[in-house]
Amino acid sequence: MHIDNRVTGETRFVGLIGNPVEHSISPQLHNTISSCLGVDLIYIPFKVEEAGLKDAVNGLKALNIKGFNVTTPYKKDIMKYIDENSKEALLMGAVNTVKNIDGRLYGYNTDAEGFSRAFKEEVGEGFKGKKIAIIGAGGAARAITVKIAIEGAAEISIINRTLQKAHDIAGIIENNYSMNVGCFGTDEGAAGDALRQADIIINTTSIGMYPNTNESPLKKGIKLSDSQIVYDIIYNPSVTKLLAGAQRYGAKAVNGLGMLFYQGIYAYEIWTGIKIPKDALKHINESFVN
Ligand code: ATR
Protein backbone atom coordinates (compact mmCIF):
# COMPACT_ATOMS: atom_id res chain seq x y z
CA MET A 1 0.00 0.00 0.00
CA HIS A 2 1.33 3.45 -0.89
CA ILE A 3 -0.13 6.94 -0.87
CA ASP A 4 -0.36 8.05 -4.48
CA ASN A 5 1.49 11.35 -4.66
CA ARG A 6 0.34 11.98 -8.22
CA VAL A 7 -3.05 13.19 -6.99
CA THR A 8 -3.28 16.99 -7.23
CA GLY A 9 -6.00 19.62 -7.20
CA GLU A 10 -6.50 19.02 -10.91
CA THR A 11 -6.95 15.25 -10.71
CA ARG A 12 -10.36 14.06 -11.96
CA PHE A 13 -12.02 10.93 -10.68
CA VAL A 14 -14.15 8.04 -11.90
CA GLY A 15 -15.34 5.10 -9.85
CA LEU A 16 -17.48 2.11 -9.19
CA ILE A 17 -20.72 1.72 -7.26
CA GLY A 18 -22.09 -1.65 -6.18
CA ASN A 19 -22.28 -3.99 -3.23
CA PRO A 20 -19.94 -5.71 -2.61
CA VAL A 21 -17.06 -3.92 -4.36
CA GLU A 22 -14.16 -5.13 -2.22
CA HIS A 23 -13.23 -7.98 -4.57
CA SER A 24 -13.38 -5.86 -7.73
CA ILE A 25 -10.28 -5.66 -9.90
CA SER A 26 -11.63 -2.67 -11.84
CA PRO A 27 -9.72 -0.12 -9.69
CA GLN A 28 -6.51 -1.94 -10.53
CA LEU A 29 -7.38 -2.04 -14.25
CA HIS A 30 -8.44 1.60 -14.59
CA ASN A 31 -5.63 3.02 -12.48
CA THR A 32 -3.21 0.97 -14.59
CA ILE A 33 -4.72 2.48 -17.76
CA SER A 34 -4.29 6.02 -16.37
CA SER A 35 -0.68 5.28 -15.39
CA CYS A 36 0.16 3.74 -18.76
CA LEU A 37 -1.42 6.62 -20.72
CA GLY A 38 -0.26 9.37 -18.33
CA VAL A 39 -3.85 10.56 -17.75
CA ASP A 40 -4.60 12.47 -14.53
CA LEU A 41 -7.62 10.37 -13.59
CA ILE A 42 -8.11 8.07 -10.61
CA TYR A 43 -10.67 5.29 -10.08
CA ILE A 44 -12.23 4.72 -6.66
CA PRO A 45 -14.64 1.94 -5.59
CA PHE A 46 -17.68 2.91 -3.47
CA LYS A 47 -19.76 0.36 -1.59
CA VAL A 48 -23.33 1.65 -1.71
CA GLU A 49 -26.31 0.28 0.24
CA GLU A 50 -29.56 -0.09 -1.66
CA ALA A 51 -31.33 2.67 0.28
CA GLY A 52 -28.47 5.04 -0.57
CA LEU A 53 -28.31 4.52 -4.33
CA LYS A 54 -30.11 7.73 -5.30
CA ASP A 55 -28.08 9.84 -2.86
CA ALA A 56 -24.87 8.21 -4.08
CA VAL A 57 -25.67 9.11 -7.69
CA ASN A 58 -26.56 12.70 -6.75
CA GLY A 59 -23.44 12.95 -4.60
CA LEU A 60 -21.18 11.74 -7.39
CA LYS A 61 -22.79 14.28 -9.73
CA ALA A 62 -22.32 17.06 -7.19
CA LEU A 63 -18.65 16.11 -6.89
CA ASN A 64 -18.36 16.35 -10.68
CA ILE A 65 -17.34 12.73 -11.25
CA LYS A 66 -16.33 12.12 -14.87
CA GLY A 67 -18.16 8.80 -14.97
CA PHE A 68 -18.62 5.57 -13.11
CA ASN A 69 -19.12 1.84 -13.42
CA VAL A 70 -22.08 0.10 -11.88
CA THR A 71 -21.90 -3.48 -10.66
CA THR A 72 -24.15 -5.98 -8.89
CA PRO A 73 -26.87 -5.45 -7.71
CA TYR A 74 -27.56 -2.07 -9.34
CA LYS A 75 -27.10 -2.55 -13.09
CA LYS A 76 -30.87 -2.42 -13.63
CA ASP A 77 -31.87 -0.05 -10.81
CA ILE A 78 -29.37 2.58 -11.91
CA MET A 79 -31.24 3.08 -15.19
CA LYS A 80 -33.95 5.20 -13.56
CA TYR A 81 -31.38 7.79 -12.49
CA ILE A 82 -29.84 8.09 -15.96
CA ASP A 83 -30.92 10.92 -18.28
CA GLU A 84 -30.22 9.03 -21.49
CA ASN A 85 -29.63 5.27 -21.81
CA SER A 86 -28.14 3.93 -25.06
CA LYS A 87 -30.44 1.88 -27.29
CA GLU A 88 -28.32 -1.23 -26.65
CA ALA A 89 -28.41 -0.72 -22.87
CA LEU A 90 -32.20 -0.41 -23.00
CA LEU A 91 -32.50 -3.70 -24.91
CA MET A 92 -30.01 -5.35 -22.57
CA GLY A 93 -31.91 -4.03 -19.55
CA ALA A 94 -28.67 -3.12 -17.81
CA VAL A 95 -26.18 -0.27 -17.54
CA ASN A 96 -22.65 -0.85 -16.25
CA THR A 97 -21.05 2.41 -17.40
CA VAL A 98 -22.24 5.98 -16.83
CA LYS A 99 -20.76 9.16 -18.28
CA ASN A 100 -21.36 12.53 -16.65
CA ILE A 101 -21.42 15.51 -18.99
CA ASP A 102 -22.18 18.74 -17.09
CA GLY A 103 -24.53 16.97 -14.70
CA ARG A 104 -26.34 15.00 -17.40
CA LEU A 105 -25.88 11.22 -17.09
CA TYR A 106 -25.55 8.87 -20.09
CA GLY A 107 -25.85 5.09 -19.62
CA TYR A 108 -24.05 2.37 -21.58
CA ASN A 109 -23.50 -1.37 -21.40
CA THR A 110 -19.85 -2.21 -22.05
CA ASP A 111 -20.11 -5.80 -20.71
CA ALA A 112 -21.54 -7.06 -23.98
CA GLU A 113 -19.19 -4.91 -26.04
CA GLY A 114 -16.27 -6.25 -24.02
CA PHE A 115 -17.47 -9.81 -24.48
CA SER A 116 -17.72 -9.35 -28.25
CA ARG A 117 -14.28 -7.79 -28.62
CA ALA A 118 -12.57 -10.32 -26.36
CA PHE A 119 -14.20 -13.18 -28.24
CA LYS A 120 -13.01 -11.88 -31.61
CA GLU A 121 -9.48 -11.25 -30.33
CA GLU A 122 -9.15 -14.69 -28.80
CA VAL A 123 -11.08 -16.78 -31.32
CA GLY A 124 -10.25 -14.83 -34.47
CA GLU A 125 -13.85 -14.64 -35.72
CA GLY A 126 -17.22 -13.27 -34.63
CA PHE A 127 -20.82 -14.49 -34.42
CA LYS A 128 -22.09 -13.94 -37.96
CA GLY A 129 -23.81 -17.04 -39.32
CA LYS A 130 -23.04 -19.11 -36.19
CA LYS A 131 -25.25 -21.45 -34.17
CA ILE A 132 -24.93 -20.31 -30.58
CA ALA A 133 -26.09 -21.93 -27.34
CA ILE A 134 -26.30 -19.72 -24.27
CA ILE A 135 -26.38 -21.33 -20.83
CA GLY A 136 -28.21 -19.19 -18.27
CA ALA A 137 -30.85 -16.51 -18.62
CA GLY A 138 -29.88 -13.77 -16.15
CA GLY A 139 -28.57 -10.28 -16.74
CA ALA A 140 -25.32 -11.37 -18.38
CA ALA A 141 -27.17 -13.76 -20.70
CA ARG A 142 -29.58 -11.03 -21.79
CA ALA A 143 -26.77 -8.59 -22.66
CA ILE A 144 -24.77 -11.23 -24.52
CA THR A 145 -27.81 -12.58 -26.40
CA VAL A 146 -28.78 -9.09 -27.60
CA LYS A 147 -25.18 -8.49 -28.71
CA ILE A 148 -24.84 -11.71 -30.72
CA ALA A 149 -28.25 -11.09 -32.33
CA ILE A 150 -27.08 -7.59 -33.37
CA GLU A 151 -23.89 -9.14 -34.74
CA GLY A 152 -25.69 -11.63 -36.97
CA ALA A 153 -25.85 -14.99 -35.17
CA ALA A 154 -27.75 -17.47 -37.36
CA GLU A 155 -29.39 -19.51 -34.58
CA ILE A 156 -29.64 -18.89 -30.86
CA SER A 157 -30.68 -21.34 -28.13
CA ILE A 158 -31.01 -20.45 -24.47
CA ILE A 159 -30.75 -23.20 -21.86
CA ASN A 160 -31.76 -22.33 -18.32
CA ARG A 161 -32.91 -23.96 -15.10
CA THR A 162 -35.90 -21.61 -15.02
CA LEU A 163 -37.41 -21.94 -18.49
CA GLN A 164 -39.55 -18.80 -18.25
CA LYS A 165 -36.46 -16.60 -17.94
CA ALA A 166 -35.13 -18.04 -21.20
CA HIS A 167 -38.47 -17.21 -22.86
CA ASP A 168 -38.28 -13.65 -21.52
CA ILE A 169 -34.96 -13.05 -23.28
CA ALA A 170 -36.18 -14.85 -26.41
CA GLY A 171 -39.15 -12.47 -26.54
CA ILE A 172 -36.85 -9.44 -26.59
CA ILE A 173 -34.81 -10.90 -29.44
CA GLU A 174 -37.86 -12.01 -31.42
CA ASN A 175 -39.50 -8.58 -31.11
CA ASN A 176 -36.44 -6.59 -32.10
CA TYR A 177 -34.48 -8.79 -34.51
CA SER A 178 -37.19 -10.97 -36.07
CA MET A 179 -35.32 -14.20 -35.37
CA ASN A 180 -36.48 -17.28 -33.47
CA VAL A 181 -34.71 -18.33 -30.30
CA GLY A 182 -34.95 -21.90 -28.98
CA CYS A 183 -35.60 -22.16 -25.24
CA PHE A 184 -34.86 -25.26 -23.19
CA GLY A 185 -34.95 -26.24 -19.54
CA THR A 186 -31.64 -27.60 -18.25
CA ASP A 187 -33.03 -31.14 -17.90
CA GLU A 188 -34.66 -31.40 -21.33
CA GLY A 189 -33.03 -33.80 -23.78
CA ALA A 190 -33.38 -31.15 -26.47
CA ALA A 191 -31.04 -28.93 -24.44
CA GLY A 192 -28.33 -31.55 -24.99
CA ASP A 193 -29.00 -31.53 -28.75
CA ALA A 194 -28.77 -27.72 -28.87
CA LEU A 195 -25.44 -27.85 -27.03
CA ARG A 196 -24.00 -30.59 -29.23
CA GLN A 197 -25.07 -28.84 -32.43
CA ALA A 198 -23.81 -25.39 -31.47
CA ASP A 199 -20.74 -23.82 -33.07
CA ILE A 200 -20.33 -21.70 -29.95
CA ILE A 201 -21.41 -22.46 -26.36
CA ILE A 202 -21.41 -19.57 -23.88
CA ASN A 203 -21.78 -20.08 -20.14
CA THR A 204 -23.26 -16.99 -18.51
CA THR A 205 -24.07 -18.59 -15.14
CA SER A 206 -21.88 -18.55 -12.05
CA ILE A 207 -21.73 -22.37 -11.98
CA GLY A 208 -18.09 -23.38 -11.57
CA MET A 209 -16.95 -20.04 -10.16
CA TYR A 210 -14.60 -19.99 -7.17
CA PRO A 211 -15.08 -21.48 -4.59
CA ASN A 212 -17.46 -23.98 -6.31
CA THR A 213 -14.84 -25.04 -8.81
CA ASN A 214 -16.08 -28.65 -8.95
CA GLU A 215 -19.36 -27.73 -10.62
CA SER A 216 -20.13 -27.55 -14.33
CA PRO A 217 -23.19 -26.11 -16.09
CA LEU A 218 -22.96 -28.96 -18.61
CA LYS A 219 -24.88 -32.13 -17.72
CA LYS A 220 -22.85 -35.33 -17.58
CA GLY A 221 -22.91 -37.28 -20.81
CA ILE A 222 -22.98 -34.32 -23.19
CA LYS A 223 -20.10 -34.89 -25.57
CA LEU A 224 -18.57 -31.90 -27.31
CA SER A 225 -16.43 -31.89 -30.45
CA ASP A 226 -13.15 -30.31 -31.50
CA SER A 227 -14.92 -27.94 -33.90
CA GLN A 228 -16.73 -26.17 -31.07
CA ILE A 229 -15.82 -23.04 -29.16
CA VAL A 230 -16.70 -22.89 -25.47
CA TYR A 231 -16.68 -19.48 -23.80
CA ASP A 232 -17.07 -19.19 -20.03
CA ILE A 233 -17.61 -15.66 -18.71
CA ILE A 234 -16.05 -16.81 -15.41
CA TYR A 235 -12.39 -15.83 -14.97
CA ASN A 236 -11.77 -17.24 -11.49
CA PRO A 237 -10.64 -19.99 -11.81
CA SER A 238 -9.04 -19.31 -15.20
CA VAL A 239 -9.88 -22.86 -16.27
CA THR A 240 -13.33 -23.84 -15.01
CA LYS A 241 -14.56 -27.42 -14.96
CA LEU A 242 -16.56 -26.58 -18.11
CA LEU A 243 -13.46 -25.32 -19.93
CA ALA A 244 -11.29 -28.23 -18.78
CA GLY A 245 -13.94 -30.62 -20.14
CA ALA A 246 -14.11 -28.72 -23.43
CA GLN A 247 -10.34 -28.94 -23.78
CA ARG A 248 -10.48 -32.71 -23.34
CA TYR A 249 -12.75 -32.87 -26.40
CA GLY A 250 -10.31 -30.66 -28.31
CA ALA A 251 -12.75 -27.72 -28.33
CA LYS A 252 -11.40 -24.17 -28.10
CA ALA A 253 -11.85 -22.96 -24.51
CA VAL A 254 -11.87 -19.26 -23.59
CA ASN A 255 -12.37 -17.71 -20.15
CA GLY A 256 -13.90 -14.36 -19.16
CA LEU A 257 -10.73 -12.44 -18.38
CA GLY A 258 -10.69 -10.79 -21.82
CA MET A 259 -14.32 -9.73 -21.38
CA LEU A 260 -13.46 -8.10 -18.07
CA PHE A 261 -10.47 -6.36 -19.63
CA TYR A 262 -12.32 -4.99 -22.66
CA GLN A 263 -15.46 -3.88 -20.80
CA GLY A 264 -13.07 -1.72 -18.77
CA ILE A 265 -11.23 -0.47 -21.85
CA TYR A 266 -14.52 0.59 -23.46
CA ALA A 267 -15.68 2.31 -20.28
CA TYR A 268 -12.40 4.24 -20.08
CA GLU A 269 -12.74 5.26 -23.73
CA ILE A 270 -16.31 6.46 -23.11
CA TRP A 271 -15.26 8.58 -20.10
CA THR A 272 -12.17 10.13 -21.64
CA GLY A 273 -12.82 10.11 -25.39
CA ILE A 274 -9.36 8.52 -25.81
CA LYS A 275 -9.11 5.67 -28.33
CA ILE A 276 -6.49 3.50 -26.66
CA PRO A 277 -3.90 2.37 -29.26
CA LYS A 278 -3.13 -1.33 -29.76
CA ASP A 279 0.42 -1.18 -28.38
CA ALA A 280 -0.83 0.61 -25.25
CA LEU A 281 -3.51 -2.08 -24.81
CA LYS A 282 -0.82 -4.73 -24.84
CA HIS A 283 1.20 -2.82 -22.27
CA ILE A 284 -1.88 -2.25 -20.06
CA ASN A 285 -2.80 -5.92 -20.28
CA GLU A 286 0.70 -7.01 -19.25
CA SER A 287 0.85 -4.51 -16.36
CA PHE A 288 -2.66 -5.45 -15.25
CA VAL A 289 -2.11 -9.21 -15.28
CA ASN A 290 1.22 -8.97 -13.41
P1 ATR B 1 -26.03 -12.35 -13.89
O2 ATR B 1 -26.60 -10.97 -13.82
O3 ATR B 1 -24.60 -12.44 -13.51
O4 ATR B 1 -26.34 -13.02 -15.18
P5 ATR B 1 -28.25 -13.58 -12.54
O6 ATR B 1 -29.13 -12.56 -13.18
O7 ATR B 1 -28.43 -13.91 -11.11
O8 ATR B 1 -26.73 -13.17 -12.71
O9 ATR B 1 -28.37 -14.92 -13.42
C10 ATR B 1 -27.71 -16.08 -13.11
C11 ATR B 1 -28.13 -17.18 -14.09
O12 ATR B 1 -27.41 -18.34 -13.74
C13 ATR B 1 -29.59 -17.54 -14.03
O14 ATR B 1 -30.02 -17.91 -15.31
C15 ATR B 1 -29.60 -18.75 -13.07
O16 ATR B 1 -30.64 -19.68 -13.30
P17 ATR B 1 -32.17 -19.36 -12.86
O18 ATR B 1 -32.71 -18.40 -13.87
O19 ATR B 1 -32.85 -20.69 -12.89
O20 ATR B 1 -32.08 -18.79 -11.48
C21 ATR B 1 -28.30 -19.40 -13.43
N22 ATR B 1 -27.76 -20.16 -12.30
C23 ATR B 1 -27.02 -19.68 -11.28
N24 ATR B 1 -26.69 -20.67 -10.43
C25 ATR B 1 -27.23 -21.81 -10.92
C26 ATR B 1 -27.22 -23.18 -10.51
N27 ATR B 1 -26.59 -23.58 -9.42
N28 ATR B 1 -27.87 -24.07 -11.29
C29 ATR B 1 -28.52 -23.69 -12.41
N30 ATR B 1 -28.55 -22.40 -12.85
C31 ATR B 1 -27.92 -21.48 -12.12
Give the pLDDT of residue 6.
80
Same fold, 12-108+259-289 and 112-255: yes
Give the pLDDT of residue 4.
61
Instruction: Provide, rounded to the nearest whole percent, the portion of the chain with pLDDT above 70.
Output: 98
Ligand 1 atom with the smallest distance to the CA of 135 is 14
In angstroms, what CA-CA distances link 19 with 46, 69, 111, 254?
Answer: 8, 12, 18, 27
Ligand 1 contacts CB of residue 207 (under 6 A): yes
Instruction: Provide, rounded to the nearest whole percent, the portion of the chain with pLDDT above 90.
Output: 94
Q: What is the 3-state secondary structure (H, E, C) of 6-37?
A: CCCCCCEEEEEEECCCCCCCHHHHHHHHHHHH
Give the pLDDT of residue 239.
98
In angstroms, what CA-CA distances link 229 with 110, 177, 259?
Answer: 22, 24, 15
Give the pLDDT of residue 290.
62
Q: How confident is the model at residue 14 (pLDDT cuts 50, 70, 90)?
A: very high
| Mean pLDDT on 110-120 | 97
Q: How confident is the model at residue 287 (pLDDT cuts 50, 70, 90)?
A: confident
| Pairing verdict, β 200-203 and 84-85 | unpaired
Q: Is the pLDDT of residue 3 over 60?
A: no
* CA 97 to ligand 1 centroid distance, Å: 22
Burial 255-275 (b: 16+ CB within 10 A, else e): bbbbbbbbbbbbbbbbbbeee
Query: Average per-residue pLDDT in the chain?
Result: 96
| Mean pLDDT on 123-131 | 97
Active centre residues (catalytic): 75
CATH of 112-255, one of 3.30.450.20, 3.40.228.10, 3.40.50.720, 3.40.50.150: 3.40.50.720
Q: Looking at this predicted complex, what is its ipTM?
A: 0.97
Return the closest-CA partner of residue 212 out of 237, 229, 235: 237
| Mean pLDDT on 231-241 | 97
Domain ranges for the chain: 12-108+259-289, 112-255
Return the closest-CA partner of residue 123 out of 208, 230, 223: 230
User: Nearest residue CA, atom 10 of ligand 1?
Assistant: 138
Backbone φ/ψ region at 275: left (φ over 0), alpha (ψ -120 to 50), beta: beta
Q: Under CATH, domain 12-108+259-289 is a member of which superfamily?
A: Leucine Dehydrogenase, chain A, domain 1 (3.40.50.10860)
